[in-house]
């Protein structure tokens, strides 16, 4: 029995072993994920403000987000309070931009929002964790080409569906978007590790990549759950009529 327990401990220790990552890389990752947590909290606050206090979406908010994004990227390797504030404001505006969608989900069923948050957390932990735990992970850097091609396909599908208005194409676009941005989570995580090894310690810019991945995954998951709820309601109405 003791032997089995020892083997189990060894297996678990090996599963979560990050010893292949240098100490300065681990320290950088801690700052990145702390910054990501702050950004997600700011996005949640922005969504709340957009739904219940002041609408912060539309063209003005989009232009403000673009300006903040350019400011954040132009100040690489500077970590003053202004850049942190700009990052938090960008995240809040990103959250407020999703306020109409989140409000619609809550109106349909509040559990949809909770389930979307849980699924997004699980997806983020699994894909980012897989990238960090992989001992031979340089191959992940070669995902850039296929992922860029995937974005091009998504753009073409979205443009085509403006005219075709096909439910099948809409579903396909959503599922491909989820697949592509899960791939971006893996790629961006490994890119952060490699950049840190080369001396790039700009955790705000690195966090920004992951933040966009997480937000897009959350958006797609939320839409898929809402569609599933709507399809289930239609089936129930059909059965009640029959």
Under a CB-based contact definition with an 8 Å cutoff, are residues 68 and 89 in contact?
A: yes
Residues 6+ apart with CB under 8 A from 27: none
User: Cβ(108)–Cβ(230) under 8 Å?
Assistant: yes
Contact 61, 49 (CB under 8 A): no
C-beta neighbour count of 228 within 10 angstroms: 12
Residue 238 lies in a domain: no
Whether the pLDDT of residue 2 is over 70: the answer is no
Q: Any idea what DSSP says for residue 136?
A: S
- Residue 135 half-sphere exposure, CB side, CA atoms within 13 Å? 5
Sign of the alpha-carbon torsion through 15, 21, 26, 32: negative
Structure tokens given for 13:
């220790």
Predicted structure pTM score = 0.86
Tens of pLDDT, residues 52-82: 887 777 777 888 889 999 888 887 667 778 8
State which H helix or E strand residue 171 sits in: helix 167-197
- Between CA 9 and CA 148 the distance in angstroms is 40
In a domain, 16, yes or no: no
Between the alpha carbon of residue 230 and those of residues 11, 99, 224, the distances in Å are 43, 19, 10
The H or E element containing residue 151 is: helix 144-164
Tell whether the model's pLDDT for residue 127 goes beyond 60.
Answer: yes
Examine residue 64 and state whether it is found in any structural domain, yes or no: yes
Residue 8 has pLDDT above 50, yes or no: no
Is 239 a domain residue? no
Question: Is residue 112's pLDDT more than 50?
Answer: yes
Number of domains, the chain: 1
Is residue 117 in a domain? yes
Q: What pLDDT, in 10s, does the model give residues 9-58?
A: 434 454 456 667 778 888 889 999 999 999 999 999 999 998 888 777 77
Span 140-182, pLDDT tens digits: 777 888 889 999 999 999 999 899 888 889 999 999 999 999 9
Q: Residue 94's closest CA among 57, 138, 144?
A: 57
Q: Is residue 151 assigned to a domain?
A: yes
Indicate the pLDDT class of residue 3, thresholds 50, 70 and 90. very low
What is the extent of the structural domain holding 147?
A: 23-230
CA distance 74 to 205: 10
Supply the DSSP symbol for 21.
S
Q: What is the mean pLDDT of residues 178-194?
A: 92
Does a structural domain hold residue 128? yes
Q: Considering the chain, what is the average pLDDT of its residues? A: 84
Look at residue 10 and tell me if it is in a domain: no
């Amino acid at each position: 029995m003791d032997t089995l327990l020892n083997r189990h401990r060894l297996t678990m220790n090996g599963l979560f072993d990050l010893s292949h990552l240098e100490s300065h890389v681990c320290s950088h990752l801690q700052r990145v994920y702390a910054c990501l947590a702050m950004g997600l909290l700011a996005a949640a606050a922005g969504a709340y403000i957009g739904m219940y206090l002041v609408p912060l979406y539309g063209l003005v908010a989009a232009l403000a987000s673009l300006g903040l994004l350019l400011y954040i990227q132009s100040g690489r390797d500077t970590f003053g309070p202004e850049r942190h504030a700009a990052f938090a404001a960008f995240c809040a505006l990103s959250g407020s931009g999703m306020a109409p969608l989140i409000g619609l989900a809550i109106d349909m069923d509040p559990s949809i929002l909770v389930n979307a948050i849980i699924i997004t957390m699980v997806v983020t932990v699994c894909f980012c964790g897989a990238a960090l735990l992989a001992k031979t992970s340089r191959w992940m850097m070669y995902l850039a080409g296929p992922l860029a091609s995937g974005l091009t396909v998504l753009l073409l599908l979205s443009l085509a569906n403006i005219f075709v208005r096909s439910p099948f194409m809409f579903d396909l676009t959503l599922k491909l978007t989820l697949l592509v941005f899960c791939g971006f989570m893996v790629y961006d995580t490994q890119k952060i590790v490699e950049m840190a090894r080369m001396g790039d310690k700009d955790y705000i810019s690195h966090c920004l990549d992951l933040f966009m991945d997480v937000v897009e995954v959350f958006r797609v998951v939320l839409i898929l759950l809402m569609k599933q709820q709507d399809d289930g309601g239609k089936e129930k109405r059909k059965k009640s009529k029959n």
